[in-house]
Amino acid sequence: MFIDLCANLLLRCGASGRVMMNNVVFHIDEAKIPSIDQPNTIHVHLFGARPSRLGTASIGGRLELAVKRLGVVIDQNAFDFLSIALAVVAADTFVNREKYSANGWAREFSLDIPIAHPEVWKDVVSDLESALNFLSGDRWTLSFREGGVVPPNLEAVLRRYRSHIATGSADCICLFSGGLDSLIGAHQLVGEGKTPLLVSHSYRGDQSYQKYLAPRLGKALPWFAANANPVFSGSNQSDTTMRTRSFGFLAYGVVAANAVLAKKASVGSVDLFVPENGFIALNAPLTRRRVGSHSTRTTHPHFLSQIQSIFDRVGLAVRLQNRYRHMTKGEMLCEVLPDNAVAHSAVSTVSCGKWKRKSQQCGHCVPCLIRRAAFAKAGIEDTTSYQYPDLGQLWNRADLRDDLMAMLLATQREQHGLKQRVIASGPLPFDPVERENWFGVHTRGLEEVGAYLKTQGFRM
């Protein structure tokens, strides 16, 4: 007990012994933001345009306009969830992890968020905090107050009728990032006769991939794209790990699902498909030192189950679905063959975790290695323009070979240690069949990458 208490204090405190609390206060009226800076506090205009005062920030400036394109009035609970998600993304962006954490990684957040119906969310606050703690590796404290933004009313929605998307034609939602998994997921839904409403982050770089791929899904689909556009006025080093980006992505999906439900209330609930192969969704640490900083948890089963429970408790009729949770990326790609359209489009997707820095997929990060192994398994020529197409060139590059070395070590590990790595990634479902399937996809994922690396001349 004493050891646990000391560890907790070390996590929360810096060298001075003080808790390094990062306070982020959100406002719907920029005029009410204090004119004087406060210690350890950032003021953010929620759903606001570019901030006018130095030292303040904004997020979601054009999101209300995007929501109007759905052509219906969004339920307040769904819109409040969007407000909460934007607040989380803003805090994650504006508070640099290295500078404002007590231990070089875990930050301590206190968020003060205005929402329209705080009473609806009071019983799930601790669950939200727990989910966010797991997602980003930080410690989150959320407080909700009245006076939040309400969704655009019917008059405002109808004024934008020329830009409305065909929400009524959709029967489900599919997150569409421009990645290989989302391409396969959307394409297979169309092949089953479904009409998914595509939901995307419309970041500048991602848009080019999404716009190329969307017309190649088998039929024209309605598409909801939005950009949170977090902006800080003045000197500030934004955080680049962005572990909570997926939380904002899910919020877009919830708003879109609510719009579909408004058009088809008789269906009762709407499926929100999150296409992600199980190996990367689980993302078990490749080495012991990667348990924290190198392990993302955006589609981990524990996180998605936590969010689903919150949806159920606040009355959001959305069912989160990841039908590829027990498949590797290579198995996903093999399943859609011999569909030449998918095979041809697959190389035009993006998988790299670092591509925005150089506007080119690196070829050696963990997602790139998994991607390259998937093409090899499916027997599809990988014509992706990688920054480092020859992995052998990295062997003597200490600054670039870390992911490659970690993957080589992981693929050579004895079988008896694999389950411990999987469990280290986070809690797994209690159902024994579901649990074993997660262990299985991790093992096959490592085998898939290991087989590819052998073809590249690597031996351990």
Which two tokens mark 249? 């992505």
Residue 30 backbone phi and psi in degrees, to 5: -60, -25
Going through 148-242 in order, the beta strands assigned E by DSSP cover: 172-175, 196-201, 223-226, 231-232
- Tens-place pLDDT, residues 177-235: 999 999 999 999 999 999 999 999 887 667 888 999 999 999 999 999 999 999 999 88
Dihedral sign, Cα of residue 69, residue 70, residue 76, residue 77: negative
- Per mean pLDDT, which range of 2-11, 54-63, 149-158 is the poorest? 2-11
Q: In this predicted model, which residue has the larger pLDDT, 21 or 307?
A: 307
**Cβ–Cβ under 8 Å, residues 231 and 57:** yes
Instruction: Classify residue 137 as left (phi > 0), alpha (psi -120 to 50) or beta.
Output: left
The reply to whether 307 falls in a domain is yes
Task: Give the residue among 428, 449, 282 at the shortest CA–CA distance from 364.
Answer: 449
Which two tokens mark 271? 């499926």
- Tens-place pLDDT, residues 100-110: 877 767 899 99
Residues 4-11, mean pLDDT to the nearest whole number = 38
**Residue 312: partners with Cβ closer than 8 Å, 6 or more residues away:** none
Residues 324-334, mean pLDDT to the nearest whole number = 97
The pLDDT value given to residue 124: 98
Instruction: Please tell me the distance from the alpha carbon of residue 328 to that of residue 283, in angstroms, as a whole number.
Output: 11
The reply to whether 256 falls in a domain is no
Cα-based distances in Å from 176 to 6, 155, 164, 273, 314:
43, 30, 19, 9, 26
The reply to whether 450 falls in a domain is yes
The reply to whether 81 falls in a domain is no
Statement: residue 348 has pLDDT above 60: yes
Tell me the HSE value of 85 on the side-chain side, using a 13 A CA sphere: 23
Residues 72-92, mean pLDDT to the nearest whole number = 97
Confidence of residue 412 (pLDDT cuts 50, 70, 90): confident
Statement: residue 79 has pLDDT above 90: yes
Statement: residue 305 has pLDDT above 90: yes
The reply to whether 52 falls in a domain is no
Q: What is the pTM of this model?
A: 0.92
Statement: residue 240 has pLDDT above 90: no
Q: In what order do the strands lie in the sheet with 21-27?
A: 139-145, 108-114, 21-27, 41-46, 57-59, 231-232
Helix axes 301-314, 125-136, angle to 10 degrees: 160
Statement: residue 18 has pLDDT above 50: no
Statement: residue 81 has pLDDT above 60: yes
Statement: residue 12 has pLDDT above 50: no
Three-state secondary structure call for residue 14: coil
Statement: residue 358 has pLDDT above 90: no
Statement: residue 27 has pLDDT above 60: yes
The reply to whether 168 falls in a domain is no
The pLDDT value given to residue 289: 66
**Cβ–Cβ under 8 Å, residues 71 and 167:** yes
Cα-based distances in Å from 226 to 59, 210, 223, 248:
12, 12, 10, 10
Q: Percent of the chain, pLDDT > 70?
A: 93
Q: Percent of the chain, pLDDT > 90?
A: 76
The pLDDT value given to residue 313: 98
Statement: residue 20 has pLDDT above 80: no
The reply to whether 74 falls in a domain is no
The reply to whether 405 falls in a domain is yes
Statement: residue 397 has pLDDT above 70: yes
Confidence of residue 295 (pLDDT cuts 50, 70, 90): low
The pLDDT value given to residue 292: 47
**Domains contained in the chain, number:** 1
- Tens-place pLDDT, residues 150-164: 999 999 999 999 999
Statement: residue 10 has pLDDT above 60: no
Statement: residue 13 has pLDDT above 50: no
Tell me the HSE value of 320 on the side-chain side, using a 13 A CA sphere: 26
Statement: residue 11 has pLDDT above 50: no
Residues 128-146, mean pLDDT to the nearest whole number = 96
Q: In this predicted model, which residue has the larger pLDDT, 38 or 311?
A: 311
Domain span at 347: 175-225+300-455
Statement: residue 341 has pLDDT above 90: no
